[in-house]
Amino acid sequence: MKKVLSKKRALEIIKNFPRSKVLVVGDIMVDHFIWGKVARISPEAPVPVVEIQSDSLLLGGCANVLNNIFFLGGKVYGAGVIGADDMGKRLLLEFRNRQINVDGIVVEADRPTTLKTRIVAHGQQVVRFDQESRQPIRPSSVEKITKYIKKLRNDLGAVVISDYNKGVVTRQLLDCIRRVTSGKGIPVCVDPKQNDFFLYKGFDIITPNHLEAGRAAGMDIIGGNDIVQIGKTLLKKFDFKALLVTRGEEGMNLFESNDKTIHTAFPAEAREVFDVTGAGDTVIGVLALCVASGATLKEAAALANVAAGIVVGKVGTATISLDELKGVL
């Protein structure tokens, strides 16, 4: 951290956040948490009976990336698809309350808004159930999102593609994003969920976790040098400019195609881990916002690593504030 980024330089980057514009494209979701306690086992089946104490609805998936950038003071735009249902209406209201432009959010009448419901008792997740469609979005929806990106592209400092494999990030949409951003000097950052990394070929920055990276390279991470081999393989095979592999308690590894040092390792910053839900959203959101604010990739990765250390210390899909980030620095 000290070798890559000084406190003074970190604060200079953060100072640019309000002037930096980031577009987040991908699978918009809602995370529903039901909080309760277990005092007995059901007489009907060998399952715990959860006595519900409270519940909360939080922005998830692509919307969580967007929310992280918003709470750090960046100017953020969103693009994706929701359903014509009550949850979709609630999402639009949440965005409007934050004064976030919703022109890039397309409503498909026959598609449910993706909803993940988690029941949590005594800090432990008991069960999760999902309401969703993973069918590819309509070509007309791709066209609307593409037009929105084209309208914004001259003002953007970075684009995030947040792929949760729920049907929004299709080959057609990715090809359109390549075409619209080509030659504009806009860094495109991808958080991948699909096994076929050829879909993302040629984008600037990709942020898989270590399992996703190993799978894409056809390798397992067993020894310390495996991550280096995986990084080099993915950069060459898929023509990425950079690769940031998140490794949980092992921290992160940044690989840059034009860096002779091969890779930069960032040790984990978390003092205590409560919940990793949405940590990848925080990483790519902070990374993109920092790049849009004039940071180098190493500087952006260092700040993203600090942010991840904060967010995993919270329960549920969480965001961090500017004060929290400055406080840790």
pLDDT digit string (tens) for 123-177?
888 999 999 999 999 999 999 999 999 999 999 999 999 999 999 999 999 999 9
Return the pLDDT at 268.
77
Q: What is the mean pLDDT of residues 313-327?
A: 78
pLDDT for position 1: 45
The band of 251, judged by pLDDT with boundaries at 50, 70 and 90, is confident
* Boundaries of every domain in the chain: 7-32+66-110+136-328
Strand partners, 128: 118
Residues 280, 162 contacting (CB under 8 angstroms):
no
151-165, 277-291, 313-327: which has the highest mean pLDDT?
151-165
Q: What is the pLDDT of residue 318?
A: 72
Q: Helix 297-311 vs helix 279-292: angle between axes, to the nearest 10 degrees? A: 150
**pTM (2 decimals)?**
0.92
What is the pLDDT confidence band of residue 271, given thresholds at 50, 70 and 90?
low
Q: The tokens of 59 are what?
A: 């922005």
Whole-number Å distance between alpha carbons of 219 and 307: 29
Neighbouring CB atoms inside 10 A of 302's CB total: 27
Nearest to 148, CA basis, from 175, 190, 180: 180
Q: Check if the beta carbon of residue 282 is closer than 8 Å to that of residue 320.
A: yes
Place of tokens 């976030």: 100
The answer to whether the CB of 300 falls within 8 A of the CB of 290 is yes
Burial of 306 (0-12, 13-18, 19+ CB in 10 A): buried
Q: Considering only the top CATH level, what class is 7-32+66-110+136-328?
A: alpha beta
**Which carries the bigger pLDDT value, residue 258 or residue 145?**
145
Q: List CB contacts of 106: < 8 A, sequence separation 6 or more.
A: 80, 81, 82, 137, 141, 144, 145
Cα 151 to Cα 149: distance, rounded to the nearest angstrom: 5
Enumerate residues 6+ apart whose C-beta is below 8 A from 195. Answer: 215, 216
Q: Which of 162, 170, 161 is nearest to 139 (CA)?
A: 170
- What token pair was written down for 5? 């980024």
According to the model, what pLDDT value does residue 301 have? 94
Q: What is the pLDDT of residue 225?
A: 78
How much is the average pLDDT of 107-119?
Answer: 96
In whole angstroms, what is the distance from residue 278 CA to residue 275 CA? Answer: 9
pLDDT confidence bin for 278, thresholds 50/70/90: low
Q: Which of 130, 175, 281, 323 is catalytic?
A: 281
In percent, how much of the chain has pLDDT > 70? 94
When pLDDT is cut at 50, 70 and 90, the band that residue 323 belongs to is: confident
**Is position 281 annotated as part of the catalytic site?**
yes
What average pLDDT does the segment 174-187 reach? 95
Predicted local confidence at residue 220, as pLDDT: 78
pLDDT in tens, 7-20: 999 999 999 999 99
Q: State residue 178's pLDDT score.
A: 97
Taking only the tens place, the pLDDT of each residue in 204-232 is 999 999 999 999 999 877 666 788 899 99
- pLDDT number for residue 316: 62
Query: What confidence tens digit (pLDDT) does each residue in 52-61 have?
Result: 999 999 999 9
Output the pLDDT for position 55.
93
Average pLDDT over residues 265-283: 73
Residue 2 has pLDDT above 50, yes or no: no
Please give the mean pLDDT across all residues of the chain. 91
pLDDT at 276: 62
Query: Residue 5: which pLDDT band, with cuts at 50, 70 and 90?
Result: confident
Dist CA 22 CA 157 (whole Å): 6
Cβ 313 vs Cβ 274: under 8 Å = yes
